[in-house]
Structure 1
């Protein structure tokens, strides 16, 4: 009953509400949270109103990222673009059905508060098969699946023959994405765009990477997803997290807390290329909307209310 209710909300939202970007992969450490926050900040800087949702109630990586960003902006006294944010805590009830029902209610209530007041909603999902994870995939307009460039991560998408590297069968995750896309088409005649993002790629192409590339292209033709290069193995992406910064923020010493390097510039270029590859529905009108909102805020006699990053 919960899923049918969400389907109804989904069909109503298509014409008037936010474009939903879901970062999903049933494996931890693939870069979902880092990718999600960079997408959010990029859209904010382009003039769009953005909300972020953290469905990983245990790890809360995206929530911590946004919290760190807010704290650093206050401590360093710098203006940083910060999305409206909420997370769905895991429910503890006597039965799984009751727990899932409560989690769905909180998720639905949170979406109701943000979906028609924002241009984009970015959802970060847990690295496991959960009830909320499946729900998020069913309302995605753009599904971004980050994966480390190795056969360990490829196994999340499909099984391969160890000798011929032929695809033997698709994984449970790929099957669930396929089912979610089919369901969306039956619901509102929409097929979500699925983009698999290759993270932690080496600067030198190895024989293993060539084999992964060939297998991904083969699987893409079979499942209907697109491929994009993502975040390479750079230390600065790990250094960004404690202060909540991204590769798109100003590279000045008082902002970074350290002197910028060429690695910062290379990281920024990677993110810009990734965002271009995602082909999100953006335009220059976003910048005009941002200018209008800033003028309205400047002329207002009362301060803007900043949302709390934690949902009660």
Structure 2
């Protein structure tokens, strides 16, 4: 069966689609068969990223290693069993279709609570939660006392992950490997950065996740999206001149992230 990587949280702007695209493309470049799904049926940032990539390849005659994208299928209500949710069927059918010839399936979730996102979390072998290095985003995971810094309790998102873990356990499935990815880390060891680190370390022990370094804020990510490209494509599209120190550092960040995910059968070779 394919190893399912779900990229999710319940907040927009944390870099989910950027992480999804770079991880999926990195796996494709390393020779793995990768299928991808976008569960944000309204904004479809990940789907747009993939469409931009196809357009760039067609326009310039390129053949870049690319994951296989699939839209969720439409389901006739008459095909549903009594009490069955249409979104459950759409997701399960899409996953089943990709599993036939995929080693990994990357699922990008919306930045809000939806039925699709909830069900996707129960399918996750690896759950990646990108988080901006801010206590605004930390509130997604847990509530904290503003004066003492003491963690008061888990947030609704952490509770959803807990419920997903319980459902997997009841079904006899392996536990979710939950990885919280710290995006947009400051270049300097600022007080806020240190406080975030301590808070995450404490929370990780309480609710069971690992932390991994993500991407710093870089102009290159905003420039890549309209062309559907990733950091690993720059040499192939003839833009060696763009491999400045910042972009080389960003490539190393991607390498570190993929290593930190500890995906089965993956040896990082880029």
Q: TM-score, normalised by structure 1?
A: 0.80
Aligned to 2:20: 36
Whole-angstrom distance in 2 between the partners of 1:164 and 1:116: 51
Structure 1 residues 41-120: aligned runs within 5 Å = 41-88=25-72, 101-120=85-104
- The residue aligned with 2:263 is 280
Is this contact kept in 1: 2:73–2:94, CA < 8 A? Answer: no
| Residues 1:263 and 2:263 are matched in the alignment | no
Secondary structure (helix, strand or coil) at the match of 1:185 reads helix
**Matched-pair contact (CA < 8 Å) for 2:35–2:104:** yes
Equivalent residue for 2:168, pick from 144, 163, 184: 184
Q: Any conservation in 2 of the 1:196–1:225 contact (CA below 8 Å)?
A: yes
Preserved CA contact (<8 Å) 2:234 2:242: no
Secondary structure of residue in 2 paired with 1:44: helix
Of 195, 199, 217, which aligns to 2:201? 217
- 1:234-262 CA-partner distances (Å, limit 9, x unpaired): 1101111001111122436x444964322
* Deviation for aligned residue 1:183: 1.7
Q: Deviations over 1:132-183 (max 9, x none)?
A: 0000000100000001000000000001011110001110000110111122
* Structure 2 residue corresponding to 1:134, chosen from 115, 118, 122: 118
Task: Tell me the alpha carbon deviations over residues 73-113 of structure 1, each in whole angstroms, 9 at most, x when there is no partner.
Answer: 1212222111111233899x9xxxx9x82222222221121
Q: Distance in 1 between matches of 2:253 and 2:242?
A: 20
CA contact (8 A) 1:40 1:52 kept: yes
TM-score norm. by structure 2 comes to: 0.92
Measure how far apart 1:128 and its partner are. Answer: 0.6
Equivalent residues, number: 265
Q: 200, 222, 242: which is aligned to 1:238?
A: 222
User: CA 1:23–1:283 in structure 2 vs 1: closer, same or farther (change >3 Å)?
Assistant: closer
1:200 to 163, 184, 196: 184
Question: Unaligned regions of 5+ residues in structure 2, if any?
Answer: none
The structure number with the bigger radius of gyration is 1
Partner deviation per Cα, 1:207-240 (whole Å, 9 max, x = no partner) = 0111111100000000110000101011101111
